[in-house]
């Protein structure tokens, strides 16, 4: 079997550059494409007894209305960890829909429901269809609480220029690694040549004495 010839540093560098370029192109195309799945930082409060913050995970439900179906939730309510999301229709008619691009209301009149320490909680907007946003939280124990704020936002996505900068830094690090390997290999080759020369010299010097 023929032994594989090691790739030269220049070939490896070109391969890394080609792979990085392809990765940058893929990242750029994803950045320009509509997201079918996303995470949203969310928070709401009544400025008194309720403070909630966390992350909603969701998938695109309707491209026309840009509604998202919430599939998961994490975070805290008044410092207590949220247990999880309740299935649609399980508490107060929740449909678990989010409208992140709706400037009037990001929730409809049934909103989404979740649990904290076993307590079911529903968050909704009673003015969704009248374009008069009025957010509320509902629990069986406390009833309906009017909220001062509710907000869900997409975490910042790296700009193409930032992706390019990261790619360039990665290429530079890769090139430095190849350079160090090349210098190390050259030093090892020089050491081998010196050692071989010393060995040959020792053999020549010792030959007359061995013949006596």
Would 140 be classed as within a structural domain? yes
Would 2 be classed as within a structural domain? no
Distance, in Å, from the CA atom of 155 to the CA atom of 181, rounded to the nearest integer, reads 40
Print the domain residue range for 24. 9-31+159-206
Q: Is the pLDDT of residue 17 over 60?
A: no
Q: Are 175 and 20 in contact (CB under 8 A)?
A: no
Please compute Rg for the chain using Cα positions. 32
Distance, in Å, from the CA atom of 140 to the CA atom of 86, rounded to the nearest integer, reads 15
Mean pLDDT, range 25-47, rounded to an integer: 72
Residues 182 and 82 in one domain: no
Tens of pLDDT, residue by residue over 58-79, are 999 999 999 999 999 999 999 9
Listed in sequence order, the residues at least 6 apart from 17 whose beta carbon sits closer than 8 Å to its beta carbon are: 171
Mean pLDDT, range 25-34, rounded to an integer: 45
Residues 130 and 57 in one domain: yes
Q: What percent of the chain has pLDDT over 70?
A: 55
Residues 26 and 62 in one domain: no
Longest dimension (CA), the chain: 114
Would 111 be classed as within a structural domain? yes
For residue 59, give the CATH number of its domain.
2.40.128
* Secondary structure class of 24 (helix, strand, coil): helix
Residues 103 and 198 in one domain: no
Distance, in Å, from the CA atom of 107 to the CA atom of 138, rounded to the nearest integer, reads 14
Residues 122 and 185 in one domain: no
Predicted local distance difference test score (pLDDT) of residue 169 = 55
Would 4 be classed as within a structural domain? no
Predicted local distance difference test score (pLDDT) of residue 36 = 85
Q: Is the pLDDT of residue 13 over 60?
A: no
Mean pLDDT, range 25-50, rounded to an integer: 75
Would 193 be classed as within a structural domain? yes
Predicted local distance difference test score (pLDDT) of residue 188 = 55
Would 3 be classed as within a structural domain? no
Predicted local distance difference test score (pLDDT) of residue 30 = 42
Residues 84 and 116 in one domain: yes
Residues 139 and 40 in one domain: yes
Mean pLDDT, range 180-209, rounded to an integer: 53
Length of the chain: 212
Q: Can you tell me which residue has the tokens 């081998």? A: 192
Residues 130 and 175 in one domain: no
The answer to which of 100-104, 110-114, 190-194 has the lowest mean pLDDT is 190-194
The domain total for the chain is 2
Q: Is the pLDDT of residue 176 over 70?
A: no
Residues 143 and 178 in one domain: no
The answer to which of 23-27, 61-65, 191-195 has the lowest mean pLDDT is 23-27
Burial of residue 155, with CB atoms counted within 10 A of its CB: 0-12 exposed, 13-18 middle, 19 or more buried: exposed
Pick from 63, 55, 49, 62: nearest CA to 146: 49
Q: Is the pLDDT of residue 104 over 70?
A: yes
Would 101 be classed as within a structural domain? yes
Residues 56 and 89 in one domain: yes
């Amino acid at each position: 079997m023929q032994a594989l010839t090691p790739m030269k540093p220049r070939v490896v560098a070109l391969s890394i550059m080609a792979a990085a370029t392809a990765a940058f192109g893929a990242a750029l195309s994803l950045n320009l494409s509509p997201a079918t799945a996303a995470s949203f930082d969310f928070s709401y409060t009544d400025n008194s007894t309720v403070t909630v913050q966390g992350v909603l995970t969701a998938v695109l439900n309707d491209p026309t209305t840009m509604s998202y179906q919430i599939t998961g939730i994490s975070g805290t309510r008044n410092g207590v960890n949220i247990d999880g999301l309740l299935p649609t229709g399980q508490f107060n008619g929740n449909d678990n829909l989010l409208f992140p691009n709706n400037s009037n209301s990001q929730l409809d009149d049934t909103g989404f429901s979740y649990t904290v320490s076993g307590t079911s909680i529903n968050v909704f907007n009673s003015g969704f269809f009248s374009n008069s946003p009025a957010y509320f939280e509902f629990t069986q124990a406390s009833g309906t609480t009017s909220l001062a704020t509710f907000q869900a936002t997409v975490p910042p996505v790296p700009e193409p220029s930032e992706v390019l900068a990261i790619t360039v830094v990665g290429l530079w690090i890769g090139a430095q690694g190849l350079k160090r390997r090349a210098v190390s290999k050259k030093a090892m080759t020089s050491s081998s040549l010196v050692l071989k020369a010393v060995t040959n010299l020792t053999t020549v010097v010792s030959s007359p004495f061995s013949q006596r």
